[in-house]
A and B are shown apart, each in its own frame.
Chain A
Amino acid sequence: MITLKHLERFYPLAKGKFFYVLRDINLEVNEGDFVSIMGPSGAGKSSLLHILGMHDHAWTGEYFFDDVGVHNLKPKERATLRNEKIGFVFQAYHLLDDLTVYENLDIPLSYRHVSKAGRDSIVCDTLDRFHIVGKKDLYPRQLSGGQQQLVSIARAMIANPKLILADEPTGNLHSDQGKEIMEMFKNLNSQGTTIIQVTHSDVNAAYGNRIIQLRDGFIV
Chain B
Amino acid sequence: MNTLLQDLRYGLRMLLKHKGFTVIAVLALALGIGANTAIFSLVNGVLLRPLPFPDAERIISIEGKNPTAAGITESNISFLDFTDWSQQTDLFASTAAYWTGTANFGADGAEPERVPRAGVTTKFFSVLGVQPVLGRTFVPEDDKGWPQSVAIISHGLWKRRFGSDPAIVGKQVQMSSFPLTIIGVMPPGFEYPERTQVWVPTAVNLRDEPRDNRVWSAIARLNTGVDLKQAQTRLSAINAQLAKQFQETNKGWDVLVSTLHERLVREVKPSLLALLGAVGFVLVIACANVANLLLARSAARQKEIAIRAAMGASRTRVLRQMLTESILLSAIGGIAGLVLSIWLTDLLTSMLPEGAPRLGQIGIDYRVLTFALGVSALTGILFGIVPALQASKLDVASALKEGGRSGEGHRRTSARSLLLIGEVALSLMLLVGAGLLIKSFLRLQEVRPGFNAHNVLTAQLALQGPKYKNDQQCVEFFRQLKERLEVVPGVQAAGGSVNLPLDASGYGIGRGFIPEGRPLTVDENRDAMFSTITGDYFRALEIPLLSGRTFEPRDNADGPKVVIINETTAKRHFGSPTAAIGKRLSIWSAFRGRRRDEKFMREIVGVVGDTKTGSLTGEGGAQVYVPHAQDSQWNFMGLVIRTAGDPAAFATTLRREVQALDKDQPIYNVRTMDDVVANSLGTRRVSMQLFAVFAIAALLLAAIGIYGVMAYSVTQRTHEIGIRMALGAQKSDVLGLVIRQGMTLSVIGVVVGLGGAFVLTRLIANLLFGVAATDPLTFIAIPLLLLFVALVACYLPARRAARLDPKIALAQS
Contact = CB atoms under 8 A, between A and B. Distances in A.
A155 B311 CA distance: 8
A202 interface: no
B314 interface: yes
Interface in B2-28: 2-3, 6, 10, 13-14, 17
Interface stretch (A24-32, A85-93, A185-193): A85-93
Contacts of B251: none
Contacts of B3: 110
B498 to A, nearest CB: 77
Interface stretch (A60-68, A94-102, A173-181): A94-102
B304 interface: yes
B312 A111 contact: yes
A159 B307 CA distance: 16
Interface in A16-69: 46-47, 50, 53, 55-56
Contacts, number: 63
A79 B6 contact: no
B308 A116 contact: no
Interface string A94-137: 11111100000001101110011000000000000000000000
Nearest to A113: B3
A110 B2 CA distance: 9
Contacts of A98: 10, 13-14, 17, 304
A90 B317 CA distance: 22
B338 to A, nearest CB: 29
Nearest to B395: A56
A168 B400 CA distance: 13
A9 B337 CA distance: 52
A90 B400 contact: yes
A55 B306 CA distance: 9
A112 B402 contact: no
Interface in B517-544: none
Nearest to B303: A94
A82 B2 CA distance: 24
Contacts of B309: 55
Interface in B296-334: 303-304, 306-314, 317
Contacts of A95: 307
A15 interface: no
Contact of B314 (A47, A53, A111): A111
Contacts of B303: 94
Contact of B313 (A90, A91, A99, A111): A111
A111 B311 CA distance: 8
Interface residues of B, number: 24
Given A96-B308, A98-B14, A110 B396 contact: no
A160 interface: no
Residue from B2, B312, B401 with most neighbouring chain A CB atoms (10 Å): B312
A83 interface: yes
B104 to A, nearest CB: 74
B10 A111 contact: no
A76 interface: yes
Contacts of A79: 312, 314
Nearest to B317: A111
Given A79-B314, A98-B14, A116-B2, A107 B308 contact: yes
Contacts of A46: 401-402
Nearest to B309: A55
Contacts of B10: 98-99
B729 interface: no
Interface in A142-183: 155, 159, 167-168, 171
A98 B7 CA distance: 12
B347 interface: no
Nearest to B399: A55
A108 B308 CA distance: 8
B13 A55 contact: no
B310 to A, nearest CB: 5
Interface string B384-414: 0000000000001100111000000000000
B732 to A, nearest CB: 32
Residue from B2, B306, B396, B400 with most neighbouring chain A CB atoms (10 Å): B400
Contacts of B317: 111
A94 B312 contact: no
Contacts of B314: 76, 79, 111
A92 B317 CA distance: 24
B312 A96 contact: no
Contacts of B313: 107, 111
B311 A107 contact: yes
Contact of A96 (B2, B17, B307): B307
Interface in B668-712: none
Contacts of B311: 107-108, 111, 155
A91 B402 contact: yes
B255 to A, nearest CB: 66
B397 A50 contact: yes
A96 B304 contact: yes
Contacts of A55: 309-310, 396-397, 400
Contacts of B14: 98
Contacts of A115: 2
Contacts of B402: 46, 91-92, 167-168, 171
Nearest to A97: B304
Contacts of B401: 46, 50
B313 to A, nearest CB: 5
Given A96-B307, A99-B10, A111-B317, A50 B312 contact: no
Contacts of A56: 396-397
A73 to B, nearest CB: 15
Contacts of B307: 94-96
Nearest to B396: A55
Nearest to B402: A91
28 contacts: A50-B400, A53-B310, A55-B309, A55-B400, A56-B396, A56-B397, A79-B312, A79-B314, A83-B312, A90-B400, A92-B402, A94-B303, A94-B307, A94-B400, A95-B307, A96-B308, A97-B304, A98-B17, A107-B313, A108-B311, A108-B312, A110-B6, A111-B312, A111-B317, A112-B312, A115-B2, A159-B312, A167-B402
Given A82-B312, A111-B308, 16 more contacts: A46-B402, A50-B400, A53-B310, A79-B312, A88-B310, A90-B310, A94-B303, A94-B306, A94-B310, A96-B304, A98-B14, A98-B304, A107-B311, A108-B312, A111-B311, A111-B317
The 5 closest A-B pairs by CB, nearest first: A111-B312, A56-B397, A50-B397, A83-B312, A108-B311
